[in-house]
Each structure stands twice: as C-alpha cells, then as structure tokens.
Amino acid sequence: MLRRPKLAAWRSIAGEWLYNRGVSEAAQIPEFRKPSAIEALFNRAFGFFVGLGIAPSYMQLLQVRGRKTGRIYSSPVNLLEFGGKPYLVAPRGRTQWVRNAETAGEILLKRGRAQRKYRLRPLSDEEKPEILKLYLDQYKSAVQRYFPIPAGSPAPSFSGIANNYPVFELLPK
C-alpha cells in the first residue's frame, strides 16, 4: 500500500524544485501587484507627508495625469540617483502610475513647495539589471518583498526578472 507524503514533504519537494530551476524560470511575477488595503492607506497618508516635505530626502510625490479621466493622481516614490541621473523604479510592476506616465509621457515630482517636471525614458531590459540592483540594495527594507532575488545579489542575477520591473530615466523638461 502506497502512502501519500505529508504536506511538509510536498512543500520541501516543491521548494527544491523551484530552487533548482533558478530564479529566472521560477519567478513568475504578476504584471501588477496590487497593494493591500492597509498598504493603500499607508501610501495615501505617507504621500500627504511627502507632499508637505516631511519625509526622507529620497522620497518624492509623483503626480501624473490619468490616462482615462485626465485627473491628477499622486503616489509616493523612492527616487534613485545613479551617475548623476535620476531614475524611477516600479517595484510592484506595471502599476497605475506607470501606465499613466507612459501615456502622458511626463510626470511631476513634488516635495514640499519644490516641483520638477520630467520626461520619461524607459530603460530596455538590458539596461535595467544594474539599476534594479542599486534600487534593491538602497531601499531593501521597503521593497525586498517585491523581488525574488535578495538584496546584495550581483547585477547579472537581475537579468532574468528585468522585464517585470518598469524603470525610467527622468529627463528634465
């Protein structure tokens, strides 16, 4: 008589299988990871404080015109500076702000009274690994849960997941 393995055994087998397949094959990341109700509430409250200028210096309030309504939408973002250039990374994937920004072609970053308009240059998947590595290393406490690769990993390990994360170079307008 055959006995079925217990649930813990199945989890172990599945974990080994995923580990042995490698990150690029195992990381079936959804196009967009919607925030929970608590995360959405926190983002709204934190966005209010960022807009007032009461937040860490790397945080900005992104404002973009909605692609369907034309209404202005706001979202707090972490700005990454690399090589003297500002970059935006969307750790949740193709979020609403990403879709709106791609359609509008421009965004406004606000922090307190300071406002700056930018055009967006989307990075190709070949350009993303170094930026993704730096972003995760710098903001790991806030964004590690959205990446299947641990902070501190070498840049080439991000090649297999680069297409899941929109990255933009910001060009002054």
Please name the residue ranges forming H helices in the chain. Answer: 7-21, 23-26, 37-52, 96-104, 128-138, 140-143
| Distance separating alpha carbons of residues 25 and 137, to the nearest angstrom | 23
| Distance separating alpha carbons of residues 22 and 157, to the nearest angstrom | 10
| Distance separating alpha carbons of residues 163 and 122, to the nearest angstrom | 12
Name the token pair of 140.
């790991």
pLDDT digits 0-9 by tens, 83-120: 999 999 999 999 999 999 999 999 999 998 999 999 99
- pTM strictly above 0.85: no
Nearest CA to 89 out of 115, 123, 52, 38 is that of: 123
Q: Are 168 and 77 in contact (CB under 8 A)?
A: no
Segments making up each domain of the chain, as ranges: 30-125+168-172
Q: Are 128 and 167 in contact (CB under 8 A)?
A: yes
Looking at residue 39, its pLDDT comes to 73
Average pLDDT over residues 15-20: 36
Q: What's the CATH number for 30-125+168-172?
A: 2.30.110.10
| Distance separating alpha carbons of residues 19 and 14, to the nearest angstrom | 8
| Distance separating alpha carbons of residues 165 and 162, to the nearest angstrom | 6
pLDDT digits 0-9 by tens, 48-87: 777 777 877 888 999 999 999 999 999 999 999 999 999 9
